[in-house]
Amino acid sequence: MILEVCVDSVESAVNAELGGADRIELCGDLIVGGTTPSLALYEKIREKINIPIHVLLRPRFGDFLYSEEEIEILSRQAATFSAAGADALVIGCLTADGQLDTEVLNRIMNAGKGTPCNLHRAFDMCRDLDEALETARKLGIVSILTSGGVTSAPDGIQTLNRLKQNARNVDIMAGAGINSQNLSYMLEHSCLTAFHMSGKKVLPSQMKYRNPHVNMGMPGFSEYEILRTDTKKIQKARAVLDSWTVSYTHLTL
């Protein structure tokens, strides 16, 4: 049972490892779904934790149809993080008609010089998930993070099961809306063995002076709330997975 935790800070990475995560997906700006992190952040986290680090490559918030300039940036980022020792790269690019862009993905994978590549939830935006799975398999994608093409993984459980059964050598990892409360349901109703979560909690800013007349970010986002991975939330999820593993092992014996 694999538990991957997505993080965008040193503190969250440390908390994820303390909670029992098997690996992290390192991003920047998780509040908008994640973008490519800085190399400095990757290097600092590598100093602090011992579990594998998978690095998200996404040049901006929004769709997954990229300009030539953005594709060049993604390729350079793939080369940079591969050279830095990333355990895997997490990528995803689409054509305008909702298919995986095999030409662009190949360019990025080649730039990564053999570093294993996972597919992020751009997969869920494809018009045909079964077709996209076959394309990913042919590309040599190792793992696909997916909710089954819907907003949350528990709601996509039937599609996730179908994908898992047809995936062959590609690992299907359920993500979006995963927490310790619904993990038991996911385990009882699926054949999945890999799960992705953030386990975030909101921390209040330590700023004493707050200018009420200025908003520095997107409307509705507070500058005075900080999202951090909560060690206890990860520990609870880990306990559910470990309990299930023990029960399954006992039954098979």
Q: Give me the mean pLDDT over the 65-91 stretch.
A: 98
What six digits make up the tokens of 225?
């709330």
With CA atoms as reference, report the closest residue to 107 among 84, 91, 126: 91
pTM: 0.92
Percentage of the chain surpassing pLDDT 70? 96
The residue type found at 150 is: V
With CA atoms as reference, report the closest residue to 19 among 199, 226, 201: 199
Give bridge partners of residue 146 from the DSSP assignment.
Answer: 174
With CA atoms as reference, report the closest residue to 109 among 99, 97, 96, 100: 100
**Helices and strands (DSSP H and E) totals, the chain:** 8, 10
Residue 246 has pLDDT above 60, yes or no: no
Residue 139 has pLDDT above 60, yes or no: yes
pLDDT of residue 140: 96
